[in-house]
Amino acid sequence: MADIEPLRVCNTCNELKTFHPSRASYCKDCSRLRNLAWRTANPEFEKNRAKRRHQDPKNKARVSKYRKKKRRTSSAFRENEVAKNHAQKLKKYGLTSAQYLAMLTAQAERCAICGEPETRVRMERKTKLNVDHDHSTGKVRALLCNQCNTGLGCFKDSPCKLRLALAYLLEHGKSDDD
């Protein structure tokens, strides 16, 4: 049987309400408002508190276990998590989901280099095209499939190295249609 919380008069609002067990003089509503006001007045403390909580190994393990279970049992949770992760990745490049979709539409959902749609599958879902950017300036260039993006990365975005690779392929009989 659940414990019944007694009603008392709050020192702040002077109303008969239920009290939080650890707050002897304030009702739950007034306590919530006081906490919100304090957190608003002390954003740096709140930010550090949240950071400490996220870095706590016990909390990380608990959250990880919860997410694994939800991923297995809830497709809506899984899809929402995928969307949030993608939005977070886009944020690194200064893009929003709407801007990414506009680029994707402009490229007809195909790689800007090879013109093929992304074919790589990960966790039973086709992956999205990668955001290609200039590593020295950070400027976004286009959307690329995984192969083309990896290829550019291997050549360190160097036009000179790419020309040398092309010359090598042509010299050794590699045709354009392969």
Q: What is the pLDDT of residues 157-168, one digit of tens each?
A: 899 999 999 999
pLDDT at position 176 is 59
Of the pLDDT bands very low, low, confident and very high (cuts 50, 70, 90), residue 54 is confident
Please check whether residue 33 lies inside any domain of the structure.
no
For residue 13, pLDDT beyond 90: no
Question: Which two structure tokens, joined as six digits, stand for 80?
Answer: 């929402």
In order of 87, 113, 124, 130, the CA distances from 120 in angstroms are 19, 16, 10, 11
Residue 122: closest CA among 95, 154, 152, 146? 146
Please check whether residue 36 lies inside any domain of the structure.
no
3-class SS at 16? Answer: strand
| Mean pLDDT calculated for residue range 12-29 | 77
For residue 3, pLDDT beyond 60: no
Please check whether residue 77 lies inside any domain of the structure.
no
Identify the domain containing residue 157 by its residue range: 111-173
pLDDT at position 1 is 44
Please check whether residue 99 lies inside any domain of the structure.
no
Please check whether residue 37 lies inside any domain of the structure.
no
Residue 27: closest CA among 39, 36, 18, 40? 18
Q: What gap in Å lies between CA 45 and CA 90, rounded to an integer? A: 28
Please check whether residue 159 lies inside any domain of the structure.
yes
| CATH for 133 | 3.40.1800.10
Q: What is the pLDDT of residues 135-153, one digit of tens each?
A: 889 899 999 999 999 999 9
pTM of the entire predicted model: 0.61
Q: What is the pLDDT of residues 73-117, one digit of tens each?
A: 888 888 898 899 999 999 999 999 999 999 999 999 999 999 999
Question: Which two structure tokens, joined as six digits, stand for 72?
Answer: 């297995």
Number of independent structural domains in the chain: 1
pLDDT at position 104 is 96
Distance of alpha carbon 54 from the chain centroid: 15
Please check whether residue 149 lies inside any domain of the structure.
yes
Please check whether residue 8 lies inside any domain of the structure.
no
